[in-house]
Amino acid sequence: MSDQGGGLNRAQVAVLYLVLTTAIASGIAIYSSASNITALLKTATTGLFLPILLSLIVAFLLDPAVQYFEKRRLNRTLSIFTVYIIFTALVLLLLLIIGPPNWKGMMQALKADFPRYLSRAIEYLNGILAIAQEHFPFINNYDLPGQLRSASKSFLGLILVETPRSALRIGSLMLLVPLFSFFFLRDSRHLMRGLISLTPNRYFEMVLDIYSRVSRQLAHFIRGRILEALIIGIVVWVGLSLTDIRYTPILAVVAGATNLVPYIGPIIGMIPGLVIALVDLGVGGQFWWILCVYLLIAQIIVDNFILIPILISRVSNLHPLWVILAIIMGGKLYGVLGMIIGVPIASILNIIVIEIHRYRKTFNPYNRFFTRQGKLL
Amino acid sequence: MNPFWQNIFRGRGYQQTLHYFLSTVPAFSKLDKKDLAFLENIVHSRNYQSGEIVFSQGDIGSGMYIIRTGQVQIFTQDDQDTTTEQAILNEGDFFGEVALTASRPRCASARTTAPTVLIGLFRSDIEEAIRRHPAFSANLMFGLNRVISDRLLQCSLQLEELKKKLISDQKEAADE
């Protein structure tokens, strides 16, 4: 075929055909494997969320200590190692002095005791309902005790299933978290600088400024929250060990962990303690003391009057509606863990938005040309 | 160090490094090697094309720039949009230092007139350095302070001269 007429010669047609078929074939292949790839990514990243989150938190917590050693002219890697060694030594020392709490035995005893606590709690609830029904007869329509029973049973089942599995995971966490947080501590600045340097010249200063503000606020917030939970846990521990109540360490951990969720968390956190106190000790001086520890000492005096004003800035306050939404969405995504970390993550997003907004108020590239009302100068 | 050894250990490649460039900037000339290496880690190297705006008048500034290669024009713009050139800056000069210590609006605009590499030193990085390496930051701020006070001194000398000139001009005008 001669190609004087401007058409394609045979070789060109062959190349075109090849190119088109490979394009279509690879398109189909990519399309069909895209779902495979996302599935692969999903399986590859499962179980990484928790270690990365924990190591980020650890990195945020240890950063001031690392800075302390850096100020004394140690280089960063060396100061991180120093902090690690001191931290491990402290934990070991603590374990040597007070002895490790018998978590496993306690969990087993709780497993055996849980149904007893549950039935007694439902009994109490029935008693209250009987009184309430005299005034509000329609309550009878809602099977509250039954609902409570089924909900707690499923919750217990969840805990029983999750505990051995999480015990397995703790081993890998012990390995991964120190490793990850070491790299976060050492290289996070380089990583972030690399990312920021990608911004266009015109917006570089703004992005750098906003980043530094946000990261400072974030560090402040995360450190504050964790310290707050820790101190509340210790206060509850000490307060409860003055009574005869059992499972003090577990109750303290629950109180501390739920304290990460504002408004709702502390209420949820005190329920197990109150139920156990009610069943084991009955309504008496000790029960009121426990209620006092949870409500008055831990929440009102220590948390509201001392910790929150010192540790947590007002910037990060979330509207209660957002708190509830964050809890629900976190629960949908990651279960109980998601409920606890949903609110802090929402607060982090909130801080980012507020800081950007605040910066934009001052940084307005057109404020030379327009008044605040938008009129041309 | 002996220039002979210097030539062996620091070949021509060294002259191309950021470390060397920073040591030639007057504000950082008194910093030692370790401090310079640290400074290298907190500055940002930015590439600009010719005619690109670095910052414009009225922006909230967050740091200063040092010209590594290329040329920068500093100009002001009044309400009628007439631009007045204030200065042409070349390799090794720095500008924008007014905004380094507090977020003040830029009092002039800066535009590149050739392909330019700028070294940016920003407030947020210095604040972090102050927290982590106080001794280094003190040296750095001292050097910057020295250069800025030199400028201030020159300014006040010029002002003095201008004042004298103004008075003598007024006298001449009164005599006539």
- In this predicted structure, the answer to whether residue A374 has a pLDDT above a threshold of 50 is no
Instruction: Tell me, yes or no, whether B37 lies in a domain.
Output: no
Task: Work out the average pLDDT over A155-180.
Answer: 73
Phi, psi dihedrals of residue A203, rounded to the nearest 5°: -105, 5
- The confidence score (pLDDT) of residue A376 equals 52
At position A27, the amino acid (one-letter code) is G
Residue with the bigger pLDDT between A84 and A313: it is A84
Q: What is the number of domains present in chain B? A: 1
Instruction: Tell me, yes or no, whether B26 lies in a domain.
Output: no
What Å distances lie between residue A370 and A153, A202, A375, CA to CA? 64, 20, 5
- The confidence score (pLDDT) of residue A100 equals 64
Q: To the nearest whole number, what is the mean pLDDT of chain A?
A: 78
Tens-digit pLDDT profile for residues B88-112: 999 988 888 888 887 777 888 899 9
A212:B57 CB<8 A: no
Residue with the bigger pLDDT between B5 and A344: it is A344
Instruction: Tell me, yes or no, whether B140 lies in a domain.
Output: yes
Chain A residues whose beta carbon lies within 8 Å of the beta carbon of residue B124: 208-209, 211-213
* Contact between residue A149 and residue A118 where contact means Cβ atoms under 8 Å apart: yes
Please identify among residues 89-108 of chain A the ones whose CB lies closer than 8 Å to any CB of chain B.
none
The CATH number for B61's domain is 2.60.120.10
Task: Work out the average pLDDT over B28-52.
Answer: 88
Q: Which of A279-288, B87-96, B159-168 has the lowest mean pLDDT?
A: A279-288
Residue A204 forms contact with B (CB below 8 Å) = yes
pLDDT bin (cut points 50, 70, 90) of residue A253 is: confident
pLDDT bin (cut points 50, 70, 90) of residue B118 is: very high
| Residue in A72, A201, A356, A359 to test binding to B, most B beta-carbons within 10 Å | A201
Instruction: Tell me, yes or no, whether B16 lies in a domain.
Output: no
Tens-digit pLDDT profile for residues A325-359: 888 888 888 777 777 778 778 887 887 787 777 77
Chain A residues whose beta carbon lies within 8 Å of the beta carbon of residue B54: 201
- The confidence score (pLDDT) of residue A285 equals 78
Percent of chain A with pLDDT over 70: 82
Cβ count within 10 A of residue A163: 13
Chain A residues whose beta carbon lies within 8 Å of the beta carbon of residue B122: 205, 208-209
Measured CA to CA, the distance from residue B124 to residue A205 in angstroms comes to: 10
Residue A77 forms contact with B (CB below 8 Å) = no
Q: Which residue of A has its CA nearest to B58?
A: A368
DSSP strand E in A239-304: where? Answer: none
Chain A residues whose beta carbon lies within 8 Å of the beta carbon of residue B131: 67
Chain A residues whose beta carbon lies within 8 Å of the beta carbon of residue B132: 67, 70-71
Tens-digit pLDDT profile for residues A73-102: 788 889 999 999 998 999 888 888 776 666
CA atoms within 13 A on the CB side of A50: 16
- The confidence score (pLDDT) of residue A2 equals 46
Instruction: Tell me, yes or no, whether B62 lies in a domain.
Output: yes
The one-character DSSP state at A373 is: T
Contacts of A218 (CB under 8 A, 6+ apart): A60, A348, A351
In the three-class reduction of DSSP (H, G, I as helix; E, B as strand; rest coil), residue B86 is classed as strand
**CB pairs A-B closer than 8 Å:** 55
- The confidence score (pLDDT) of residue B59 equals 76
* Contact between residue A231 and residue A261 where contact means Cβ atoms under 8 Å apart: no
- The confidence score (pLDDT) of residue A167 equals 65
- The confidence score (pLDDT) of residue A373 equals 47
Instruction: Tell me, yes or no, whether B14 lies in a domain.
Output: no
Task: List the single residue in A67, A197, A212 with the smallest CB-CB distance to B132.
Answer: A67
Instruction: Tell me, yes or no, whether B104 lies in a domain.
Output: yes
- The confidence score (pLDDT) of residue A290 equals 81
Give Rg (Cα) of chain B: 20
Domain that holds residue B102: 43-175
B46:A204 CB<8 A: yes
Residue A74 forms contact with B (CB below 8 Å) = no
pLDDT bin (cut points 50, 70, 90) of residue B119 is: very high
Percent of chain B with pLDDT over 70: 93
pLDDT bin (cut points 50, 70, 90) of residue B154 is: very high
Instruction: Tell me, yes or no, whether B156 lies in a domain.
Output: yes
Tens-digit pLDDT profile for residues A187-216: 888 888 888 889 888 888 888 888 887 788
Cβ count within 10 A of residue A212: 20
- The confidence score (pLDDT) of residue A158 equals 66
In the three-class reduction of DSSP (H, G, I as helix; E, B as strand; rest coil), residue B116 is classed as strand
Measure CA B36 to chain center: 17
How close is the nearest chain B Cα to the Cα of A86, in Å? 20
